[in-house]
Amino acid sequence: MTKYLTIIVLMGLGLSQDEEFIYSTLIDTSFGNNYNLWTEAVYKFNEQGLSIEELIPARSRIEDISENQSKILFTSGDSIMLYDEGLIEYLNLIGSEPSFIYNGDIVFRQDIADNLYQLHMFSFEDGSSTLIIDSLYQNNYKLSSDKQNVVFFEKASLDSVNIKIVNVVSGFQTFILKVPENPRIEIYWANNDYLYLNLSTHITEFGHQKQLFRIHSSGIDEQPTQLTFLENGFNLIETKDSHLDKIIGISYSCFTIFPCNNKLFSFNFETNQIQNIGSIKNCYATVFHSWSHDNEKVALGTYQYCWSFLPGFIKVFNLSKNDSSIIGEDIYGLNPGDWLSSNRMKIFWVGGQNNVNLSKAKSLPNQFKINQNYPNPFNPTTTLDYELPLNALVKITIYDMLGNVVNHLINEAQTSGYKSVIWNATNNLGQPVSAGVYLYNIEAGDFRKTKKMILLK
């Protein structure tokens, strides 16, 4: 593990005992990207959407917060990092979806093939990684409220999957239920030892209608019990919160551009009662939600779906006052590639009963890397993003397919960080080049990498 102290800006963001803030991955508008090419960063703001601050910039995602709110897990690309009392620790782990478990260690996912993944456990004590699940299917897993067990999907047959549980300490697995492979199933593991999950009851003109079911995590139930019978279904909304006494779902009653609202409901685990808590306007779908410490306020992230996947907003409902507020427009989103993924923009409510003291930090990459240019194909300009974990002499050169030098784009010493450069399809003399396939090569320290790009005219 590598620790960096020099990247911390010496500006404390101490919170008082009663103050609460929302931490969330949002669209990083500082890059000026269009909505198909946005980058992401981690922001902090209050429930009114005021005092929005960038906490971790440059292609970062917040993934989890420890029980005492003293540590935060982030990802940047496929690198996992930890924020701990003013330090950024790079864990030298390549993966995604990290989560804290019962003893403060973490589990994380690694991609091994199309729709096939592995789950590993990482120990902070000795820096070792242990394989927990070798065939995680649909890249989705959930932790129990005590964070000692994981519920996951395993491929069963051509069109079905098994829901199983594994204990992260013993490795012992328990079969729960076989379900159809599609549609996507959302699961919440409540602290009453039940799994609450969405299952399809029938197909409508808008697709699968889902209702809320529950099944015991011990595996003693042969079939799940249906809990909701709403006319327009109950679609469970993802959360990373544990120890909840209720969960949020949405009933999609309108999929048109005409003004209408889709209702939001809470389901109480103790009473099995459903309560209408508000609505989201049509053309917006809910992605993720998080509760305040007293379970009286909830924040939900949305995206637009009527015309294409476009950014939405965060809506906060105050159940004790029976009112709501919207935070921002076009700040929260769902990339098309995240539609079937659990790797979505996550929201966390921090503060309240716990005293949080975080410092603003800047993330640094932990490996040399150059990304695919965008757009690609392009005409007449394209952007090349690259990452420098250390200060280095950087050379970026454009070649044609015969290996001839077209443009010495960069040849200079640069400081560490996330970098980008624009090529305007000209040669070293400033003359436009012809359409075709070109190569771009980066040299930084001992790192060498070449990629292709296509110029159209």
| Torsion, CA 331, CA 336, CA 341, CA 344, rounded to 10 | -10
Q: How far is CA 116 from CA 96, 113, 162, 249, in A?
A: 13, 5, 14, 28
Sequence-ordered list of residues with C-beta below 8 angstroms from that of 161, at least 6 positions apart, any chain: 137, 138, 153, 154, 155, 178, 179, 180, 181
Nearest to 81 by CA among 42, 134, 27, 137: 42
Residue 172 has a CB neighbour count (10 Å cut-off) of: 9
pTM above 0.85, yes or no: no
Q: Which domains does the chain have, with CATH numbers?
A: 2-361 (2.120.10.30), 369-455 (2.60.40.4070)
φ and ψ at residue 241, rounded to 5 degrees: -65, 145
Give which of 88, 80, 26, 15 is closest to 53, Cα–Cα. 26
Locus of tokens 């981690």: 42
Of 136, 112, 131, 105, give the one whose Cα is nearest residue 120: 131
- Where is 53: in which H helix or E strand? strand 53-56
Report pLDDT for 30: 59
Which residues 6+ apart lie within 8 Å of 327 measured at CB?
Answer: 22, 45, 47, 48, 49, 299, 313, 314, 315, 316
**What are the structure tokens assigned to 68, written together?**
């005492």
* Per-residue pLDDT, 337: 53
Report yes or no: 75 and 61 within 8 Å, Cβ to Cβ.
yes
DSSP letters for 145-210:
TTSSEEEEEEEEETTEEEEEEEETTT--EEEEEEEES-S---EEE-TTSEEEEEEEEEEETTEEEE
387 in Cβ contact with 418 (< 8 Å): yes
Instruction: Write down the pLDDT at residue 359.
Output: 41
What pLDDT shows up at residue 362? 46
Contact 412, 396 (CB under 8 A): no
Question: How far is residue 47's CA from residue 325's CA, in Å, rounded to a whole number?
Answer: 8
Residue 237: what pLDDT? 95
Range 318-324 contact pairs with CB under 8 angstroms and sequence separation of 24 or more: 318/47, 319/266, 319/277, 320/296, 324/278
Write down the pLDDT at residue 366: 66
pLDDT along the chain (457 residues), means of 10: 34 48 83 60 85 78 89 88 78 90 93 85 90 86 93 91 92 93 88 94 79 95 95 94 93 75 94 94 89 92 81 91 88 63 81 48 67 88 87 93 95 85 94 95 91 92
Scan for tokens 């003291």, then name that residue.
Answer: 357
Question: What's the CA gap between 293 and 351, in Å, rounded?
Answer: 8
- Give the pair of three-digit tokens for residue 303: 């995206």
